[in-house]
Structure formats: C-alpha cells, structure tokens
Amino acid sequence: DAKTTQPTSMDCAEGRAANLPCNHSTISGNEYVYWYRQIHSQGPQYIIHGLKNNETNEMASLIITEDRKSSTLILPHATLRDTAVYYCIVRSLSGNTPLVFGKGTRLSVIA
C-alpha cells in the first residue's frame, strides 16, 4: 500500500470549513483513498473513500487531484464534535492485508 503523509495537527474555527490534506505520491492505479476519524477514546469511524473522482456524502467531501498524488478531506461546517484525529489511508481492494493506520492529523475545532 502507498505511504501517506499528513500534517500532525490543525485548528479550525467552528462553523468554518475544515480542509485536511493528505499526500500519497506513490499511489498506484488500483488504490483507493480512505478517510477515517477517531474521536477521543472511541473506535475509528469510516468517513469516505474515493478512487479518482471527487466524492461527497453526509459527513464530508473528498477532493482527489487529477494526478491522484494528493487529496483533501473537507468538513464543510466544522462543529466542536468534529474534533478528532483524522486518518488518510491508501488501499487497494484486492488482497487480504488489512488497513494500516498511521498517526493521522489531530483536528481541533475551536469555538
């Protein structure tokens, strides 16, 4: 699986959009970009994933660059409850080896 690089931490004002970047310059053609988050003391929660098109669901939007070497997770109107560690993971659908969680980005939403 391709390696990902994320900033260690970010702040965002409540009500503003939170834009979390992820670099994955060695991503291969069959690998998807997944985002999870982990709110303090809870198990991680799946957010969204995509291959090359931008994706949106009720939680977030995922923007993947045309060369697929980086992506941005967007929380359109961040709330205090969005304070969490966000993990970007690159993964193919084939094979049995499970997800590998790095250290992620600690997002603090500030009132």
Contacting positions for another protein (CB under 8 A): 32, 34, 36, 41-46, 49, 87, 89, 91, 93, 96, 98-104
Pairing of strands 55-56, 61-64: antiparallel
CB of 13 to another protein, least distance (A): 25
Distance between CA atoms of residues 2 and 82, nearest Å: 27
Residue nearer to another protein on the CB measure, 81 or 103: 103
Residue nearer to another protein on the CB measure, 39 or 110: 39
> Which phi and psi angles does 80 have, rounded to 5°?
-60, -30
